[in-house]
Structure 1
Amino acid sequence: MVTATVREWNDEEGWGVLDSPETPGGCFCHFSNIRTTGFRTLSPGQQVDLTWEAPGFQQDGYDYRAVAAVPRRA
């Protein structure tokens, strides 16, 4: 698990991009991979604990895909 920062998030489409040192170029994250109760959405600049995978192909132009993103408490 690594700490990542939300670069962008599209509430309407339910996905966004997370940045971390281990995922150069960004990590694709779908809302179904956000591990929290209630409404699963993220905000630009928010910190998350990220578990990721490199699927061997690009997903929406990103080489990495989130397996789980857990929003960090401030």
Structure 2
Amino acid sequence: MAAPKKYPDELRERATRMTVEARRDPQTAAGAIQRIAGQLGIHPEALRSWVKKAEVDAGQRAGTTSTDA
């Protein structure tokens, strides 16, 4: 049996969206994951993995998409 999710899906989506938008702007790109994770009270590595997954799913990064897994 899989472990229950620590963070709700809505929080994951919001945090990922905020990070992707922040990384587009050169003035806010540096430290975006650390800053946003701190603001939302989530672990930075969790946010980093969510962003990587979103980038793979969007075709912006090489890897296996969620639908292919």
Q: TM-score, normalised by structure 1?
A: 0.24
Work out which structure has the larger RCO, using CA pairs closer than 8 Å and 6 or more positions apart in sequence: 1
Q: TM-score, normalised by structure 2?
A: 0.25
Higher strand share: 1
Higher helix share: 2
Larger Rg: 2
